[in-house]
């Protein structure tokens, strides 16, 4: 991790010297005061050592190849003044892991912390300091964010690189501090023999400074120093090659009374404007402060208080993904810098802020996105795609993949025009600074940047190759960016170097010219494209995507095309978002594999003919199961995560069963059998821990359920007994019984069935008790709260299969209330702030409830919140104010995509567990059936691929079901789509009867004729 500029006594942690007025909290001489805390399969032990102040304590740890945490905790009640600092001495050995300092209240539910990501433990005893400003609320149900009281104190290593090692502690103190001075950061500027000095009058906390030079007498090179007393000075920055005028300097975490600027040559400094801590707290904060003072378009939209949107570019099963921003910038890979176009004509430069930008996908749905700039003098088309090379995709591995970008500049005027097309190398991700989880968006450091006429290199590594050869190249540091650069190399300690490739172009009216570049997503370094190679590669990649996305063929009228196009794009995004076999909900914030996401994405993949991906993921995830049978909630590069999320076990068993239903791969199922046994054993232990007489007496709604967990996003502040967990657990029990039967393990099947039935009874009893206790008529989200959460409740129907077993009045009341609130939101945009498109799950529920009109009305609403609409994607979070910066999760979000895929496919066909039937066309609107009607071919079901067509004329409805499918025991069910009752009906010319507005067809092929 690149360091940000160190300035002052403290950089969040490192203290200058011993604290004054400190209160000793612990000298770490008594091991009994501390206890080791550790997650599954991570170990830690305490031992005494000699420290700088006497006896000290060491924690020896070993992550044993899994993700998790290990630390030490003690009871230590503390009350907090208005300002304070903790000081401790630390040393250690081992890999880089997150170093956490935690303070926990008496309830144990509310936690405050300071986190040093990927902290490198010092070899020698080193003082660390945590000031009040470094400590923030981590989680907890309390609305209080300020820390007033704590009961426990904790030091923890959370897995980054994992490994084994030791961390040692000595001399923990607590020091009350006076409140930091408030008021404006103003002072007196005066010249002297050592330069220009700003006296702030008292010691202040600073984050940076803005220097204002005389226009005709500025310094290219100068040194910035700070002092508390005016005698002892420390250097903060050495600036070289500055451009004069106004210089913005990041000086994070500086404590000083004096700032001094010493020019290398005579110069006139007119002002030093000291800036608060927030100005330079992070590189992103600094760039946002600079961007606020710059012309619009000089910096990406995300730095100027506007929310941007983007999409992913990658290959199926690759290990890295690029991003294309809605304004045309391209991020070369996860966390990487970007290339951004700029066009100059008639002596004026135009950026994203000077054009109208529109977005599109090749052929309407392929994950090959484009942006078009429209300007009075030109259009610029920007297209990005990724190409698998050297063997392509095999078993989830990509040997080599490259990113290709194409630019087509066209003269749209009636006169010949001269243009300068520029590709700017920017130290910014497309992923904006509002994104902070896992991958922090915003600045992507460029320290050593070198441009050649056809290459850009970063830290001496070639990163992209441009075509054709540029007419000019230049690179500059951040401090010198206001001056014309005559060099192609920049060495910038701020990490904000930039560069540009420039092309001079003369175009006749209507003429156009193309530019391109390529970079490596993995494998071989970039190579220069040949003439026409980008176009040829684009055509080949498009053909590959058509093969992968068109395996299920769906014909619909124009009003339904968006549903089908988004279905195919979502499949592409799910395939690109994965890393090898690892299915992921996202590529930046959520670049890790959750079993819940994988199970639900896997179901969609199986139905769309990508059994290979679902099977690969199952094979990859199963070995990550813990030794006690616990299925980890998620897995990433650090290993299996130990956080208890009690939906995980049922989801894993469901995925194992679902893969077998679609593939009939018995060998794979046999390898999954020990994992299924372990998951069931662990679920049995979990429910037994709640199936106690104490719960029966005091918390009967908890009796026999899965224990409280945070698997449901709404309960992250405090674990709850979430029915989400229970419906998944029941699904797991039901599928475990089937797996045992398929494999001939009759005794296990009988034992699993007993657990299934007992758990199902406890769950249904709990629902009734919770509803009665809270006096509610709907199905609650959790047993404690009696909360309304229809999006979560959808799981009970699909894939839970419990629709027929739920209290029907409560089921209908739940989704009638959801619909009422949905209507209010749709008609009154001020009635909501944001929502998650996980709500797309409700579409499938509406279909199962027979609400086909409501399903499409809701889809129309959700489609309006795709960002951008033409890219057929949703973020995890949708805001009512889409241009106000906010954390949107990932874009696109593959778990949201899976919710859409499963619901959209339910419109055409879904499996109904209550009578083991395949329900077809239950979500198809009547107006789709006129004219050519609809046709489906190759839609995967557990009985094989489904093929049918459906069309209506003035008098009859015609349904043709083709060969290739083995109907389930309950046959195929066709619900009547029109008002009124169906007329005379025949199946293969023989009279057929309707029951409750449903027609059951038990064989294929079948020809159905219905008089309207």
Give a yes or no: residue 544 inside a domain.
Answer: no
CA end-to-end span of the chain: 69
Question: Cis omega before residue 892 (within 30°)?
Answer: yes
685 and 800 share one domain: yes
Confidence of residue 15 (pLDDT cuts 50, 70, 90): very low
Whichever domain contains 201, its CATH number is 2.60.120.260
**Residues 730-769: tens digit of each pLDDT:** 999 999 999 999 999 999 999 999 999 999 999 999 999 9
pLDDT for res 437: 87
Give the residue from 809, 802, 608, 784 showing the smallest Cα distance to 700.
784
> In a 3-state reduction of DSSP, which class is residue 654?
helix
**Residues 418-476: tens digit of each pLDDT:** 999 999 999 999 999 999 988 999 999 999 999 999 999 999 999 999 999 999 999 99
Q: What's the DSSP call for residue 744?
A: T
35 and 162 share one domain: yes
Instruction: Compute the 3-state secondary structure of the chain and give helix, strand, coil in percent, each to the nearest 5.
Output: 25, 35, 35
Whichever domain contains 168, its CATH number is 2.60.120.430
CA dist 362 to 368, 454, 764, Å?
A: 6, 27, 49
580 and 601 share one domain: yes
Of 503, 538, 573, which one is at a domain's C-terminal end? 538
Q: What residues pair up with 946 in beta bridges, in sequence order? A: 939
Give a yes or no: residue 306 inside a domain.
Answer: yes
pLDDT for res 795: 97
Structure tokens belonging to residue 352 = 């994203």
Burial class (CB in 10 A: 0-12, 13-18, 19+), 796: buried
933 or 1012, which is more confident?
933
Report the alpha-carbon distance of residue 242 to residue 227 in Å, rounded: 23
Element (H, E) at 125: none
Angle 841-848/894-908 helices, nearest 10 degrees?
20
**Residues 504-538: tens digit of each pLDDT:** 999 999 999 999 999 999 988 899 999 999 999 99
| Total domains, the chain | 5
**Residues 724-737: tens digit of each pLDDT:** 999 999 999 999 99
Whichever domain contains 408, its CATH number is 2.70.98
Q: What's the DSSP call for residue 108?
A: S
Q: Check pLDDT > 90 for residue 720.
A: yes
Give a yes or no: residue 14 inside a domain.
Answer: no
311 and 257 share one domain: no
Residues 933-951 have a mean pLDDT of: 97
Give a yes or no: residue 286 inside a domain.
Answer: no
Give a yes or no: residue 944 inside a domain.
Answer: yes
pLDDT for res 712: 84
pLDDT for res 242: 92
Report the alpha-carbon distance of residue 691 to residue 559 in Å, rounded: 52
Cβ count near 1000 (within 10 Å): 17
Domain interval for residue 328? 301-538
972 and 872 share one domain: no
Cβ count near 952 (within 10 Å): 20
Q: Check pLDDT > 70 for residue 2.
A: no
Q: What's the DSSP call for residue 18?
A: P
pLDDT for res 181: 87
Q: Check pLDDT > 60 for residue 13.
A: no
215 and 352 share one domain: no
Is the CB of residue 893 less than 8 Å from the CB of residue 789? no
Give the residue from 839, 827, 833 showing the smallest Cα distance to 789.
839
Give a yes or no: residue 288 inside a domain.
Answer: no
892 and 931 share one domain: no
Q: Check pLDDT > 60 for residue 801.
A: yes
CA dihedral defined by 282, 288, 289, 294, rounded to 10 degrees? 150
CA dist 936 to 269, 552, 796, 946, Å?
A: 74, 7, 27, 7
Give a yes or no: residue 509 inside a domain.
Answer: yes
Distance of CA 213 to the CA centre of its chain: 44
Residue 297 Rama label (left phi>0; alpha psi -120 to 50; beta): left
702 and 759 share one domain: yes
Q: What is the pTM of this model?
A: 0.93
**Residues 366-386: tens digit of each pLDDT:** 999 999 999 999 999 999 999
Strands 397-411 and 512-522: antiparallel
Residues 553-574 have a mean pLDDT of: 97
Burial class (CB in 10 A: 0-12, 13-18, 19+), 182: exposed
**Residues 457-473: tens digit of each pLDDT:** 999 999 999 999 999 99
pLDDT for res 398: 60
Of 512, 538, 564, which one is at a domain's C-terminal end? 538
Structure tokens belonging to residue 448 = 């050593």
945 and 898 share one domain: no
pLDDT for res 20: 64
pLDDT for res 19: 56
CA dihedral defined by 677, 678, 681, 682, rounded to 10 degrees? -150
Residues 713-722 have a mean pLDDT of: 88
Contact residues for 111 (Cβ-Cβ < 8 A; gap 6+): 102, 103, 104, 105, 137, 138, 139, 140
Of 118, 144, 176, which one is at a domain's C-terminal end? 176
Report the alpha-carbon distance of residue 371 to residue 381 in Å, rounded: 6
Give a yes or no: residue 799 inside a domain.
Answer: yes
654 and 734 share one domain: yes
747 and 861 share one domain: yes
CA dihedral defined by 603, 606, 612, 614, rounded to 10 degrees? 10
CA dist 187 to 197, 199, 208, 231, 747, Å?
A: 10, 5, 15, 18, 83
380 and 454 share one domain: yes
Element (H, E) at 423: strand 417-426
pLDDT for res 396: 45
């Amino acid at each position: 991790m690149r360091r940000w500029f160190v300035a002052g006594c403290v950089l969040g942690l490192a203290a200058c010297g011993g604290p004054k007025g400190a209160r000793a909290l612990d000298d770490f001489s008594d091991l009994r005061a501390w206890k080791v805390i550790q997650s599954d399969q991570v170990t830690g032990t305490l031992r005494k050592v000699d420290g700088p102040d006497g006896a000290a304590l060491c924690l020896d740890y070993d992550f044993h190849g899994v993700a998790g945490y290990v630390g030490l905790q003690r009871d230590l009640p503390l009350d907090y003044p208005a300002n304070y600092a903790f000081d401790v001495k630390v040393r250690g050995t081992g890999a880089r892991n997150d170093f956490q300092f935690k303070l926990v209240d008496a309830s144990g539910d509310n936690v405050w912390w300071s986190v040093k990501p990927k902290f490198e433990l010092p070899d020698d005893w080193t003082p660390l300091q945590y000031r009040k400003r470094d400590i923030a609320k981590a989680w907890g149900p309390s609305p209080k964010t300020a820390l007033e009281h704590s009961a426990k104190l904790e030091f923890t290593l959370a897995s980054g690189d994992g490994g084994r090692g030791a961390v040692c502690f000595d001399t923990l103190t607590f020091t009350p501090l006076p409140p930091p001075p408030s008021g404006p950061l103003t002072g007196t500027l005066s010249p002297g023999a050592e330069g220009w000095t700003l006296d702030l009058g008292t010691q202040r906390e600073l984050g940076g400074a803005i220097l204002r030079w005389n226009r005709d007498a500025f310094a290219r090179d100068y040194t910035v120093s700070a002092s508390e007393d005016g005698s002892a000075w420390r250097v903060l920055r050495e600036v070289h090659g500055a451009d004069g005028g106004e210089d913005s300097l990041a000086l994070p975490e500086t404590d000083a009374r004096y700032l001094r600027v010493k020019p290398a040559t005579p110069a006139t400094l007119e002002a030093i404007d000291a800036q608060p801590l927030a100005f330079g707290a992070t590189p992103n904060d600094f760039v946002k402060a600079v961007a606020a003072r710059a012309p619009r378009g000089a910096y990406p939209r995300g730095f100027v208080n506007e929310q941007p949107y983007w999409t992913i570019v990658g290959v199926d099963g690759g290990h890295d993904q690029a991003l294309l921003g809605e304004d045309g910038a391209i991020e070369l890979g996860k966390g990487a810098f970007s290339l951004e176009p700029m066009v100059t004509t008639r002596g004026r430069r135009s950026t994203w802020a000077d054009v109208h930008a529109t977005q599109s996908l090749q052929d309407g749905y392929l994950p090959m996105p484009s942006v078009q700039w429209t300007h009075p003098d030109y259009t610029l088309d920007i297209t990005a795609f990724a190409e698998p090379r050297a063997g392509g995709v095999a078993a989830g591995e990509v040997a080599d993949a490259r990113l290709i970008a194409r630019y087509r500049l066209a003269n749209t005027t009636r006169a010949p025009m001269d243009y300068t097309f520029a590709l700017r190398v920017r130290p910014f991700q497309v992923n904006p600074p509002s994104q902070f989880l896992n991958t922090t968006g915003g600045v992507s450091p460029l320290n050593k940047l070198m441009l050649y006429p056809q290459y850009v290199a970063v830290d001496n590594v070639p990163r992209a190759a441009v075509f054709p050869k540029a007419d000019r190249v230049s690179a500059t540091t951040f401090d010198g960016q206001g001056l014309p650069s005559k060099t192609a190399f920049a060495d910038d300690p701020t990490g904000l170097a930039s560069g540009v490739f420039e092309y001079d172009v003369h175009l006749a009216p209507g003429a156009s010219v193309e530019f391109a570049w390529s970079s490596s997503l993995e494998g071989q370094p970039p190579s220069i494209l040949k003439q026409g190679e980008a176009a040829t590669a684009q055509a080949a990649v498009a053909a590959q995507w058509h093969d992968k996305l068109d395996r299920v063929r769906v014909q619909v009228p124009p009003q339904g095309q968006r549903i089908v196009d988004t279905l195919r794009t979502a499949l592409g995004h799910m395939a690109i978002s994965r890393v090898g076999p690892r299915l992921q909900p996202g590529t930046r914030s959520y670049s890790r594999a959750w079993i819940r996401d994988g199970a639900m994405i896997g179901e969609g993949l199986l139905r769309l003919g990508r059994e290979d991906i679902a099977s690969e993921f199952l094979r990859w995830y199963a070995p990550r199961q813990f030794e006690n049978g616990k299925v980890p909630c998620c897995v990433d590069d650090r290993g299996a995560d130990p956080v208890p999320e009690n939906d995980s076990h049922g989801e894993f068993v469901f995925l194992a069963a679902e893969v077998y239903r679609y593939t009939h791969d018995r060998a794979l199922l046999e390898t999954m059998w020990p994992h299924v046994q372990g998951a069931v054993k662990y679920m049995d232990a979990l429910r037994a821990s709640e199936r106690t007489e104490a719960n029966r007496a005091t918390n009967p709604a908890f009796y026999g359920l899965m224990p409280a967990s945070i698997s449901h996003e709404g309960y992250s502040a405090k674990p709850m007994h979430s029915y989400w967990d229970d419906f998944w657990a029941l699904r797991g029990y039901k599928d475990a019984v089937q797996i045992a039967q398929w494999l001939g393990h009759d005794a296990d099947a009988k034992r699993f069935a007993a657990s299934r039935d007992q758990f199902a009874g406890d769950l249904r009893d709990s629902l009734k008790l919770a509803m009665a206790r809270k006096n509610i008529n709907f199905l609650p989200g959790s047993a404690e709260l009696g909360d309304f959460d229809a999006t979560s409740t959808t799981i009970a129907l699909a894939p839970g299969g419990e629709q027929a077993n739920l209290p029907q009045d409560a089921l209908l009341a739940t989704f009638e209330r959801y619909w009422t609130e949905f209507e209010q939101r749709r008609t009154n945009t001020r009635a909501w702030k944001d929502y998650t498109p996980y709500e797309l799950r409700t579409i499938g529920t509406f279909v199962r409830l027979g609400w086909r009109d409501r399903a499409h009305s809701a889809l129309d609403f959700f489609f309006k919140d795709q960002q951008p609409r033409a890219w057929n994607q949703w973020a995890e979070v949708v805001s009512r104010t889409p241009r106000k910066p906010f954390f949107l999760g990932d874009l696109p979000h593959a778990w949201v995509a899976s919710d859409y895929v499963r619901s959209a496919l339910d419109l055409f066909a879904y499996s109904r567990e209550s009578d083991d039937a395949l329900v077809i066309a239950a979500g198809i609107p009547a107006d789709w059936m006129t004219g050519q009607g609809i046709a489906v071919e190759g839609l995967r079901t557990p009985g094989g691929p489904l093929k049918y067509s459906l069309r209506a004329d003035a008098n009859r409805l015609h349904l043709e079901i083709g060969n290739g499918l083995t109907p389930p025991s309950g046959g195929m069910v066709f619900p009547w789509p029109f008002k009124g009752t169906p007329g005379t009906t025949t199946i293969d010319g023989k009279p057929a009867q309707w029951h409750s507005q449903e027609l059951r067809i038990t064989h294929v092929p079948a020809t159905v004729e219905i008089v309207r």
